[in-house]
Amino acid sequence: MRTTLTAKWLWDGSNLLENPEITIEDGRIASIVGRGPGDARGKLDFPQATLAPAFVDVHIHGAAGHDVMEATPEALQAVGGFLATRGTGSYLATTVTAPLDTTLRALEGLARQIANPELLESGKASAKPVGIHLEGPFLSPKKCGVQPVEHMLAPDIGVFDRLFEAAEGRVRLMTLAPEMPGAVELTRHATGRGVRVSLGHSNATAAETRAAIEAGATSATHTFNAMRALDHREPGILGVVLTTGSVYAELICDGIHTAPELVRLWFSAKGPERGILVTDAMSATGMPDGEYTLGGFQVHVADGRAMARGVLAGSVLTLDRALKNFVEFTGAPIEQALRLLTTNPAAMTGLGNGAGQVVVGGPADLVAVNDEGRLVASIHGGRPAGEA
Ligand SMILES: [Zn+2]
């Protein structure tokens, strides 16, 4: 099947092209050219919008009533189908701290489905799980958030290797607390196996944070949340993450996890090259208020807040809303804001195959957004995915 897409602009991951015409054949991009004034418009035309790569979410636990740790085709079809309507093209299925056996079983299931995408085929547009993010068990009990302290473990290369092997090497990202004994050695070991290490759920001092970055840590997990607060004499993890130019930093931009003023501070520190917008979304995302689970525990969702034991428990955010909030809070130009949910997460995790880019030969997974960052359409395999 062949179709053409036209719009006001294309931001392809590096450059802005005015009046683009994109030809799509069999779900892949066959050509990208500029249109002359007066040339015919495409079958799918977005005259006021910017086309951009579909979003990449490196931190998401679930959506549409399902948690990725269920690790069944049904669960991932539900999550992927929902995300596709909100502009997300690929994501890292993110685990929470759980009993080790539970995590190992979840990783085996996730690995099977990532390796065999045909298991997830439903005939509908769907975001693809392209790897796994281990959020735990090597976290600090002092900054656990809602994660169960009783299942947290000190960083341990043997345990990590069991997790990595259960996941058949599909772990792309691991959050750990750099101050825990063994964290530096594990950071070096995991990095050597191709896993990106993200610092978070941590009460680390500045020195402890620097040591992990020197050992290879490349990112920070939901900056500000479950993280030692900034102190002007002991800058701690936050001070180091915000001021180390090489380090990427996630942010949950829902207006609840981080105040708009701090979103601006984060962006002025990390800039358009190192900021990453994530959702940290849990199973209640895209569902009515009520009772849900995150990993193994109960979460109550009301008015856009997911709470457990009086603490924020993940979010019900989607990346399209994160983008709109971010543009509203910072006033950043759309082509800068888009980097934070496309090229930056793809570069941080080393994703290839056109993730976070619009390239000839790559998948025809795109979004159309307006100048305020509002999602106008989500396109998967060259077709609009449900209602945006
Ligand atoms: Zn999380």
C-alpha–C-alpha distance, residues 58 and 222, integer Å:
11
Same domain, 62 and 19: no
Distance 91 CA to ligand 1 centre (A): 13
Q: Which residues are catalytic?
A: 280
- Angle subtended by helix axes 260-274 and 236-243, to nearest 10: 50
What is the predicted pLDDT for the residue at 42?
A: 83
What is the predicted pLDDT for the residue at 375?
A: 97
What is the predicted pLDDT for the residue at 388?
A: 41
Distance 58 CA to ligand 1 centre (A): 10
Same domain, 153 and 194: yes
Distance 48 CA to ligand 1 centre (A): 35
pTM of the model: 0.96
C-alpha–C-alpha distance, residues 16 and 9, integer Å:
7
C-alpha–C-alpha distance, residues 364 and 380, integer Å:
6
Measured CA to CA in angstroms, residue 61 lies from 15, 24, 66, 70, 287 at distances of: 32, 32, 9, 10, 14
Distance 147 CA to ligand 1 centre (A): 9
| Per-residue model confidence as pLDDT tens digits over 309-362 | 888 988 999 999 999 999 999 999 999 999 999 999 999 999 877 789 999 999
For residue 11, what is the domain's CATH number?
Answer: 2.30.40.10
User: For residue 234, which of 213, 206, 210 has the smallest C-alpha distance?
Assistant: 206
DSSP bridge partners of 212: none
Distance 44 CA to ligand 1 centre (A): 36
For the chain (388 residues), the mean pLDDT of every run of 10, in chain order, is: 93 95 95 86 92 98 96 97 96 96 98 93 91 97 89 96 98 98 98 98 98 98 97 97 98 96 98 98 94 85 89 93 98 97 97 88 96 96 75
C-alpha–C-alpha distance, residues 113 and 97, integer Å:
21
Distance 59 CA to ligand 1 centre (A): 6
Same domain, 338 and 372: no
Same domain, 222 and 335: yes
Evaluate the omega torsion of the peptide bond into residue 384 and state whether it is cis, within 30 degrees of 0. Answer: no
Distance 62 CA to ligand 1 centre (A): 10
Q: What would the two tokens of residue 97 be?
A: 């701290």
Same domain, 183 and 114: yes
Range of the domain at 331: 55-353
Same domain, 40 and 112: no
Same domain, 61 and 113: yes
Same domain, 126 and 228: yes
Q: What are phi and psi of 17, to 5 degrees?
A: -120, 130
- For 92, residues 6+ apart whose C-beta sits below 8 A from its C-beta are 57, 58, 59, 60, 129, 130, 131, 132, 133, 172, 173, 349
Same domain, 309 and 337: yes
C-alpha–C-alpha distance, residues 211 and 12, integer Å:
36
Distance 309 CA to ligand 1 centre (A): 16
C-alpha–C-alpha distance, residues 80 and 63, integer Å:
8
C-alpha–C-alpha distance, residues 218 and 222, integer Å:
13
C-alpha–C-alpha distance, residues 252 and 278, integer Å:
5
* Whether 101 contacts 152, CB under 8 Å: no
* Whether 198 contacts 177, CB under 8 Å: no
Distance 289 CA to ligand 1 centre (A): 19
Q: What would the two tokens of residue 146 be?
A: 């809602």
Distance 176 CA to ligand 1 centre (A): 12
Distance 15 CA to ligand 1 centre (A): 32
For residue 211, what is the domain's CATH number?
Answer: 3.20.20.140
First to last CA, the chain: 23
| Per-residue model confidence as pLDDT tens digits over 82-122 | 999 999 999 999 999 999 999 999 999 999 999 998 988 88
Distance 141 CA to ligand 1 centre (A): 15
- The domain tally of the chain equals 2
User: For residue 10, which of 59, 44, 40, 61 has the smallest C-alpha distance?
Assistant: 44
Same domain, 172 and 257: yes
Same domain, 122 and 77: yes
Most distant pair of Cα atoms in the chain: their distance: 65
Same domain, 286 and 185: yes
What is the predicted pLDDT for the residue at 275?
A: 98
- For 323, residues 6+ apart whose C-beta sits below 8 A from its C-beta are 55, 87, 277, 337, 338, 340, 341, 369, 373, 375
